[in-house]
Structure 1
Amino acid sequence: MGVRKRERAEQTKEAKKQVAVAKLNNCPTSPRKMRLVADLVRGQKVEKALNILRFSSKEASRKLEKLLLSAINNYQQKNADVNIEEAGLFVKEIRVDGGMMLKRLRPAPQGRAHRIRKRSNHVTIVLGDINNTQSN
């Protein structure tokens, strides 16, 4: 049992070296607006995704660009010997989930109040290595 467990742990360790993850929690943008930008870069190569985000006029693209740069940096720290241009990184997975909601009240006519929900989101980016993904 010990040998199999150790071998499996080594396999998962090697698999985790081929991907890089970055997370952004409680970003004060609605998930719907963030998903519009996330759909643009899903599955793209990293260089192309950075260009898309850099030249997009949406506010959410600035935050996603910073998050993508963080994921690239995480990959560099894991694999110091690999050159980023030669690695062939691409956006393997990008998830936008709903975060916490701030609930506020806005005055309405005749003494009533309307509830305002200020939404936030959680974004997770997973970068994969094209060379190692195709060989598996």
Structure 2
Amino acid sequence: MADFVKFQDFVEQLGKGVHQLHAAGHLLRVYLTNNAPDVAADAVKADLAGITEENGYAPADIQNDYAESGGIGTLTGVDVVFTASGGSFGPFRYVVLYNDTPAAPADPLIGYWDYGSSITVLTGETFTVDFGASVLTIA
């Protein structure tokens, strides 16, 4: 998996209590974009347009949970698998994590992963967002 990069506004909104990262808290989703994120300027999903939702692709729930141990917080999620059906989807280069629950600000961005080049998923192929042991840690 590509390295996680956080949006600057995520830190502000976390401090203001906008994000509840635990399982009983808010719904976190990932979406795909081919537009380069701006960590300083992009704050909500409307700032960073995603690819067209079609052929088996739509933003997906990561089934998030959060735990703290020894002063380190860890956000975990279930891997997301997108399967192209009835046509391809893409191209995209970035997978973006956002919070789908708050109304103000609506759909605040958390961070993204850069896959290095644009990807198109053809009919019958899959693209997996593999979080590994954690989505992110806060120390």
TM-score (norm 2): 0.31
TM-score (norm 1): 0.31
Write 1 or 2 for the structure with the bigger share of strand.
2
* Higher Cα radius of gyration: 1
